[in-house]
Amino acid sequence: MNWIRVNMSAQPGSFVMALTDWLVKPLRRALPKSVTQSRVDWASVLTAVLLALAYALLWSLLFGVLQGVAFGRPAWHPWPCSRCCPLR
């Protein structure tokens, strides 16, 4: 949004900034100067990737457990076992 000069004072911009600033600002301080001064806002890109991974992990954990319970299978095992899940 910064790269294409989107007006951040509009409602969607302020909402996105409020939602992601807690992660973007520390990443901007942690990234090297050469990365932070490029045309791409790498802190925002990294934040988007991290939030997408967290969302995918939460989604898979939540619905993986629910799917296992619904079909009468154990929801999660650290290793496959043929005794309780023969065709897993």
Per-residue pLDDT tens digits of the chain, which is 88 residues long: 566 666 777 677 788 888 888 888 999 899 898 887 888 888 889 998 998 999 988 888 777 766 665 555 555 555 666 666 555 4
Closest CA to 41 of 22, 28, 52, 54: 28
Q: Phi then psi for 44, rounded to 5 degrees?
A: -70, -40
Token pair 């992601």: residue: 20
Give the pair of three-digit tokens for residue 88.
């897993």
Tens-place pLDDT, residues 55-80? 988 888 777 766 665 555 555 555 66
* CA angle (70 as vertex; 69, 75 as ends), nearest 5: 25
